[in-house]
Amino acid sequence: MSTEDIWFDPSLCFIGGAWVDPVAGQTLDLGNPSDGTVICQIARGGQEDVDHAVAAAEEALHGPWARMTAPERGRILAKIGQLVLDNADTLARLEAMDVGKPLKQAKADALALARYMEFYGGAADKLHGHTIPYLDGYTVYTLREPHGVTGHIIPWNYPMQIIGRSVGAALAMGNAAVLKPAEEACLTALAFADLARQAGLPEGVLNVVPGLGAEAGAALSAHAGVNHVSFTGSVGVGKLIQRQASENIVPVTLELGGKSPQLVFDDADIDAALPFLVNAGVQNAGQTCSASSRILVQRGVFDEVLDRMAARYGDLQVGPAMADLDVGPLISARQKDIVEGFIAQGASLEKAAQGQVVTDAPDGGHYVAPTLFAGVSPGHVLAQEEIFGPVQVVIPFDDEAEALSIANGTQFGLVASVWSREGARQMRLAKALRAGQVFLNNYGAGGGVELPFGGTGLSGHGREKGFEALYGFSTLKTVAALHG
């Protein structure tokens, strides 16, 4: 572990373009999941810090930011993207240390963050209004306008990617943002704020208040000065956020995870499918909202798929983030307890295979051996609840109708994939699967920043990523001129 990469003071908040002490002067320990040590102290922001941040954002909406043209805004976002690229290795090391994710996966997140800023920088001047043919003597047109102050409450699993997709899109539309990163991982959020400052983002346009969810998070989501809230995290907190937003009558985007299935038919290209079947379950130690935790396999190829997945599981190496193995630790001792609790609930099931925690993994790290369960009934808790750890279940099915009914048989609906060579089946299932994204003969499509993303059911609502996000992060005004 090395703190040399932290070029800013992580115990401060970033408000109004400056690094400031939290008003109450309190801090929290930031843990390293790979060895359980404390990396540094971070600010324990609270109500007053959030008040200051919202006020700074509001002020920024009356400053140079408001007068900037869309191409000028876009150019600043692109410049932030370039600085992210220039610092990608440092950001990757910060994220690996803070989140525990293997270095290569952390680097991919840094590159994705740069790509989000490029994409939204380029998109800033491309969302146009319409003219509407209307009554004689009228000219009617629509204007896309920012909401104003947007609140962003993000989790610890993909800080850089989630900052890119939510803050990037919000800024592209001319909003000002207040970001509350997760207590358990906030180094790259603070680093990003400093890079944005270096790129010339006007003061107050982006503010970061670290702290506890129940304090800084609750203060932000309940704040009467916040005009839109974007939240990624658990279903329980998502419900709270939506309830609080109802008090202020503001829109919310909720991204709450899933129980995403992959459907493997007898005619599938199993060689092509195998790496996706396993990686989609163990990437970032399974702590991925779009993780694929259910593998549904038609009976004709069930044994082959299970055996070959099990062989891959047997090869999975688990260890510290900096060792850059297949799987890192979980984020915290608490998350490890939750995941081990789920694995214990599978005691009566067939444990088809497990990965290995390397022998020199530090004792204090939060390691869990990836576990593959077979012979799981679709209603079992392991096949219904989001585990958020490296655990997958393999479920057999007879025909397409049964596969669809199992796939759609949870309360979630985030992502799904179909492995089959039959085009008509691909089209039928793409329509019938309850999910915000469906992949045909792949899973995740490389994570593309261009691809709109979001869920249905308990997975939440609203879309982030891609051009689509710009609609959510803006509001529409209709102008009707009567000129005769």
Token pair 């609906």: residue: 413
Verify binding: residue 234, ligand NAP, rule CB under 6 A. yes
What ranges in 364-408 are assigned the alpha helix state H? 381-384, 400-407
SS3 breakdown of the chain: % helix, strand, coil, rounded to 5?
A: 40, 20, 35
Residue of the chain from 1, 85, 111, 212 that contacts ligand NAP (CB under 6 A): 212
Residues 261 and 294 sit within 8 Å (Cβ to Cβ): yes
Q: How many residues bind Mg ion (CB under 5 A)?
A: 4
Distance CA 271, CA 445 (A): 17
CA distances for 128 relative to 76, 284, 433, angstroms: 20, 38, 32
Q: Which does 98 bind (CB under 5 to 8 A by kind): ligand NAP, Mg ion, none?
A: Mg ion
Verify binding: residue 297, Mg ion, rule CB under 5 A. no
Residue of the chain from 153, 274, 277, 404 that contacts ligand NAP (CB under 6 A): 153
Distance CA 46, CA 212 (A): 8
Closest distance of CB 207 from ligand NAP, Å? 15
Per-residue binder mask for ligand NAP (CB under 6 A), 370-409, x = binder = ----------------x-x---------------------
Residues 111 and 85 sit within 8 Å (Cβ to Cβ): yes
Verify binding: residue 157, ligand NAP, rule CB under 6 A. yes
Strands (E), 147-259: 149-153, 176-180, 206-208, 228-232, 252-255
Residue of the chain from 182, 349, 353, 382 that contacts ligand NAP (CB under 6 A): 182
Residue 255 φ/ψ, nearest 5 degrees: -125, 105
Per-residue binder mask for Mg ion (CB under 5 A), 147-186, x = binder = -------------------------------------xx-
Distance CA 399, CA 126 (A): 45
Q: Which residues, in sequence order, are bridge partners of residue 302?
A: none
Verify binding: residue 464, Mg ion, rule CB under 5 A. no
Verify binding: residue 217, ligand NAP, rule CB under 6 A. yes
Residue number with the smallest Cβ distance to ligand NAP: 213
Residues 413 and 457 sit within 8 Å (Cβ to Cβ): yes
Closest distance of CB 39 from Mg ion, Å? 7
Checking DSSP bridges between strand 460-461 and strand 149-153, what pairing results, if any?
unpaired
Q: Which is nearer to ligand NAP, 232 or 298 (CB)?
A: 232
Q: Residue 215: left if φ>0, alpha if ψ -120 to 50, beta else—which one?
A: alpha
Closest distance of CB 182 from ligand NAP, Å? 4
Q: Which is nearer to ligand NAP, 97 or 256 (CB)?
A: 256
Residue of the chain from 218, 352, 361, 458 that contacts ligand NAP (CB under 6 A): 218
Verify binding: residue 98, ligand NAP, rule CB under 6 A. no
Closest distance of CB 159 from Mg ion, Å? 10
Closest distance of CB 336 from Mg ion, Å? 13
> Would you name the residues annotated as active-site residues?
255
Q: Which of residues 81-100 bind Mg ion (CB under 5 A)?
A: 98
Sign of CA dihedral 436, 440, 446, 451: negative
Verify binding: residue 346, ligand NAP, rule CB under 6 A. no
Q: Which is nearer to ligand NAP, 196 or 209 (CB)?
A: 209
Please name which of 276, 277, 241 lies closest in space to residue 256, comparing C-alpha atoms.
Answer: 241
Checking DSSP bridges between strand 228-232 and strand 149-153, what pairing results, if any?
parallel
Q: Which is nearer to ligand NAP, 95 or 118 (CB)?
A: 95
Closest distance of CB 428 from ligand NAP, Å? 28
Sheet holding 131-132, edge to edge: 131-132, 138-146, 474-482
Distance CA 210, CA 243 (A): 22
Per-residue binder mask for Mg ion (CB under 5 A), 14-33, x = binder = -----------------x--
Q: Which of residues 254-293 bind ligand NAP (CB under 6 A)?
A: 255-257, 289
Q: Which is nearer to ligand NAP, 337 or 399 (CB)?
A: 337
Q: How many helices (H) and strands (E) are present in the chain, helices listed first?
A: 17, 22
Residue 402 amino acid letter: E
Residues forming contacts to ligand NAP in the complex (CB under 6 A) are 153-157, 180, 182-184, 212-214, 217-218, 221, 232-234, 237, 240, 255-257, 289, 338, 386, 388
Residues forming contacts to Mg ion in the complex (CB under 5 A) are 31, 98, 184-185
